[in-house]
Amino acid sequence: MGFFSKLRDIARVTVEKDPAACSKLEVWIAYPGFHAMVFYYMAHRVHLWKLCTLSRWISSIGRALTGIEIHPAAKIGERFFMDHGMGIVIGGTAEIGNDVTLYQGVTLGGTSLEPGKRHPTLKDNVTVGAGAKVLGPITIGENARIGANAVVIKDVAADTSMVGALARSTKRKVANSDEFWAYGIPTEDLPDPVARSIEGLLEHVHQLSNRVKALEEENSVLLEGSNTDDARAEGRPTKG
């Protein structure tokens, strides 16, 4: 699909998804998300020509004018829609499928300093809410929905909704104060404090269950002995 055909599709989708858009003409002249894609297409084409510095210069102009930062190396599919758009950041190895929607303040960031795939992959028809952070070389499946301000660092299955961003202490100490963590997240998997707490509770319940069973057995023996003594005292026959 050609440059202008892609832009026409984006303008059409913008009018369909944004009730505030009066016309395609308004999108062409007044929508920063649309303008950011114009600069992205130019920068991406120059990037494919191996002119990295020039492509970054073009993208930096787009960022200054729109408040949206898209790395020229990112791969973006058809009919991509950014509502409002201010503060959106899309990293260099990010891959975005068709019919994806991002709201303002979304970050598709990388948490590793190693070369290679570092940023998320968003499959077709994904929606990411305002302020959400999708970090690392993870995959967001088709039709998934990421709620506003959610922080996602693991794969999301297709047709799944993700909400919430509750920060918890991992009890992990920084071994090397000079070590740099992109977005404050270590490259290796973090222990899940909730899962760890649940495992501890289950183990405790198991121990309590065993203790209750032992007490019931002890109580049964005591009751049986007490009944035997009573029967002997009354001259009644006893078992055994």
Which pLDDT belongs to residue 182?
64
Which pLDDT belongs to residue 198?
79
In the chain, domain spans:
3-184, 193-240
Which pLDDT belongs to residue 175?
59
Mean pLDDT by 10 residues, the chain (240 residues): 90 94 95 97 96 97 97 97 96 97 96 89 96 95 93 92 68 60 60 68 88 87 70 59
Which pLDDT belongs to residue 238?
57
Question: Can you give the C-alpha Rg of the chain in angstroms?
Answer: 30
Which pLDDT belongs to residue 168?
56
Q: Which CATH architecture has domain 3-184?
A: 3 Solenoid (2.160)
Record the tokens describing residue 18, joined without a space: 């944004």
Which pLDDT belongs to residue 114?
84
